[in-house]
A and B are shown apart, each in its own frame.
Chain A
Amino acid sequence: MSEHARRPSLGERAADLAGLHHRRGSLRSPSAIDDRAPEDCDVLVVGSGGAALTSAAAAVATGATVVICEKGAVAGGTTACSGGVAHIYANALMKESGIDDPRPDALAYMARVGYPSLYDSEAPFLGLDAADYFQLEAYYDRGSEVMSGLSSIGAVRMEAPWRMWDGQGFPDYYEFEENKAVRGRGLQCVATDGGAGNGAELVRQLMAFCAGRGSPVRLEHRVVDLVVEDGIVRGAVVDDGMSCRTVLAHGGVVFGSGGFAHSPELRHRFLRGPIAGGSGVPTNTGDLVALAVRAGAELGGMHNGWWNQQVAEALDDDAPSVLDVWSVPGDGMILVNRIGVRVVDEKREYESRGRAHHVFAGDEYVNRVLFMVYDQRTAERFGGRYPIPPPGAVADHVVVGEGIEGLAAALEERTRTRLPSVFPAGIGPVALDPDFASTLRSTVARFNAMAESGRDDDFGRGTKAVEIAFHGPPAADHRLPNPLMHPVDPDGRLYAIALVGTTFDTNSGPRITTEGRILGTDGPISGLYGAGNCVDPVFGEGYPGGGSTIGPGMVFGFLAGDHAARRSPRVGATR
């Protein structure tokens, strides 16, 4: 394959202009060593997203002195770009509403979603490794307690139910028989106006709580090394861009520093398949991995991430706030691979849909690019819902053709000309099958017949509550039995958008205990903690419902921050 001269990405050009040269890459040579005396604190928190700030809040609430270091130029991490939902079992709002969330069923639900190849309802620990099972128990048992704890210390009230467009609670992503409470587990913070707050509001409140107790977030402060003595983590070396200074943390160092979605090196090392970095902040470069290994940590599975899709032309490891395709808009719309066949229920939520790209079949990752095909009616009815552009727009990422043959010809050209220049290593190239047009015609005919009957015999499109939640109300002209399916006109103007598989962050890293302590090969490493996407995930490979990323980050972050603070002799309490 010929070497393409790599052009700087949009994000790189923007970062360059903004003077943020050092925002990516974890192996930057450190700044000059500072000869000042080390700074002292009880707890050093690394990162400023939901996991980090919740651990900081728990620590400051004990009276501990807390230092919060964020390597990025802005605070809040990926949490601040998100809806700020936490997925919490048997939470107080569910109890108030009379929604029962029994423990054995909830544990079975989490186990089945998170460990589908191990789950066995009759086996000890449901078929899971015992330590993984205990993490699920801890998550069920302590989730609601941590949310109450955040209220009682005055940090934030996670007391607003996450709702869908019709006012119902937003449904979980799986409706297995084990799931006895499909709605009600999503919690958002209460904003100052009394409504539900998003991730930026959640971060704002946590930051205000910490800053009010003497712990503001220090921006552009990067932890470049750990101070380890006799196997005990005593602190860390912090680079502020000018110099490196040691910060001693008498209780411990808590990492809430995010995964490695935007480190191409770590993606290639640990993930399998055609996966690009998605909508997480570009500072998610997996800084904990190397530090934890040097401190003697035991790594968990390193192959897990939160999967999603992104428009191929939008891929950019350096840009902030690039949109993932959280739901695919439209009813007269299908996703097909390079052969021209459907491979997934297009209306499912991002995470299970994103996994369709990981399939190896025949001789290749045959779904490494999926083409979102839709007709003129859908373009008009759903225009403005990303990635369908507003009506009348000129949009570079949309391929247009008259009828199936016209679209196939236009797509074939796009795969040869434009797409190779936008794919990061590991995704492309992709060429349409020689019979793509005729296969697509058959695929559309079959889909259209199923749309008329309302039943998708291939993928069950439109049968899950979560699909309806993401789709919204039926289109005004929709008269068929299944509001998520409408025939695609194969002879009119057709559109296609190339989608690739992304991870909006990985959730892989060192293993932790039920208190958020990072495990070494001989038990917990004293003074080292982690929560959120930088450590081994509580849900294994699963995503049980909205808030599955922030929920565990906040719960284990809180427990870690509290544990670390109480470990400091200066805080007094002992455990």
Chain B
Amino acid sequence: MTTTKGILIFAHNNEEIDYFKLAVINAYYIKENLGIHDITVVTNKFSYDYNVKNVGKEFIDNAVSNIVFTEKDKAFKNANRRLYKDTSHTNKTLPFYNVDRCDAYDLSPYDETILIDADYLILSNTLNNCWGHENELMMNWHYEDIMSDRNDPSLKRLSPFGIKMYWATVVYFKKSNYAEQFFNTVKHVRDNNNYYQDLYRWPGSLYRNDYSFSVAAHMLGGFVDKAIPQLPIPSLYKTFDTDDIHSSPRKNEILFYLEKPKSLGDFVLCKWREMDIHVMNKWAINRVSEELINHVT
């Protein structure tokens, strides 16, 4: 029996950020670098229609094989607002619609799924190491900022004396009892957010999947830290929203402006090539979206 495998991306636009377009650009890179053609984007009618109007249906259909529409929870959308930065010079508070990510297990049509953020750019074939794995569920707590001088302890644990923080940026799962249990636990944490925030003491009022996935990992791992295995990749590489993109001069290559840790608003250049990368500055991706697309179409 052959198992189906595919990529799942959640993409709900807000007033400023076109997550759906990021997902489509990423889908082109996924097809090119992973050779995976089964790509599902979970979105809403507004985000989809906006992109059909702007980039065309054909452009979307050439990259994305399956679109799943969900209804937006408007109360959640209005309540869950976060600070987005386009470098340290510009910031905006906008809705952050991430409430349905824990439905990934139910929404995925595949036996094996890699769930990724729309802004986790697939510039290599590294994630192909996941398919057919013995581990039914994998995600990373280890991450690396590509500007190695920066160190933010708040990204390592939920609170200074709390549990290890897992990143929901990339999650591999197989349809299995264990993975189903895991996602049910994430939903339970989401639905009882205040209680778990009190218990695990994460800061702020923003609902983050990184937190609910970390709590679920801790609970399902028998209340042991780092109990869920990490992805078969050396690290989850990241840039932050205080960084910018200079250009994408070649296929699978991005030149970043990385903000210096001790001189905010001041940058060093960095060439990043043929490794997947989480780019937190969404505006920056949009500014070079034409270049990115030209390399893979």
Bound together: no
